Amino acid sequence: DQQVKQNSPSLSVQEGRISILNCDYTNSMFDYFLWYKKYPAEGPTFLISISSIKDKNEDGRFTVFLNKSAKHLSLHIVPSQPGDSAVYFCGGEYGNKLVFGAGTILRVKS
Amino acid sequence: DVKVTQSSRYLVKRTGEKVFLECVQDMDHENMFWYRQDPGLGLRLIYFSYDVKMKEKGDIPEGYSVSREKKERFSLILESASTNQTSMYLCASTQLNEKLFFGSGTQLSVL
């Protein structure tokens, strides 16, 4: 049973435009959501997070939106840069456990 | 600077072998995790530990065991490696309610 779903395996965006990565979840117990970015041959690195009591968190070019009623969150990257090309994992956390989705490959074309 | 070190970047083993994957963190974190990454399946949690000698099963523990004898070290053990355990293995650590720090990963091939 996949508790966190990223239904788009890949996304291609032109440099300078907005990238929107989506994530759906089924577990109402999640109290924290995180986005991680992963380059090939490297471990994932933390990008941005949001508490379940908030609906938006912003950090520079990255903004995460949470819609609890729809059990949906999204990551917006504006403007997109070629260096943003990576795999993005959405994760939900409850207790000591962090569960991730399948990931979305983002390609930013210059 | 924060560091999670996995002992091997690449490993090739034969079916039936016992395999040890080692992970060390230098941040005095309470919690440590083992994930595997497979195309289309993302990061799946195998086991995690929230204290020395404590362990809990993740979502896919079958075929694996773990050991945490010291706070800084968390080992993943494949008792009898099988080809479906060929994967990228990622270790991570965190203090409670803080972000995860990942190692660089071990690409394991079981032939």
| pLDDT tens digits for range A41-68 | 889 999 999 999 999 999 999 999 999 9
What's at B5, amino acid-wise? Answer: T
**A75 min Cα distance to partner chain B (Å):** 17
By residue range, what is the domain housing residue B54?
4-110
Identify the residue among B100, B104, B107 best suited for mutation to test binding to A, counting A beta carbons within 10 A and taking the highest.
B100
Burial of A95 (0-12, 13-18, 19+ CB in 10 A): exposed
**pLDDT at residue A1, rounded to an integer:** 65
Residues of B in contact with A41 (CB under 8 A): 104-105
Mean pLDDT, chain B, rounded, equals: 93
pLDDT digit string (tens) for A9-24? 999 999 999 999 999 9
Q: How many structural domains does chain B have? A: 1
pLDDT digit string (tens) for B53-95? 899 999 899 999 999 999 999 999 999 999 999 999 999 998 8
CATH of the domain at B10: 2.60.40.10
**pLDDT at residue A105, rounded to an integer:** 95
**pLDDT at residue A78, rounded to an integer:** 97
**pLDDT at residue A41, rounded to an integer:** 81
In sequence order, the 6+-apart residues with CB closer than 8 A to the CB of B48 are A96, A97, B31, B32, B33, B34, B55, B56, B58
CATH class of the domain defined by A4-109? mainly beta
Q: Where are the domains of chain A?
A: 4-109
Q: How many CB pairs under 8 A join A and B?
A: 56
Q: Which of B49, B25, B100 is nearest to A37 (CA)?
A: B100
**B40 min Cα distance to partner chain A (Å):** 6
Task: Name the residue among B42, B92, B105 with its Cβ closest to that of A101.
Answer: B42
Instruction: Work out the average pLDDT over A93-103.
Output: 87
Q: Does A92 touch chain B (CB under 8 A)?
A: no
Task: Name the residue among A97, A100, A101 with its Cβ closest to that of B48.
Answer: A97
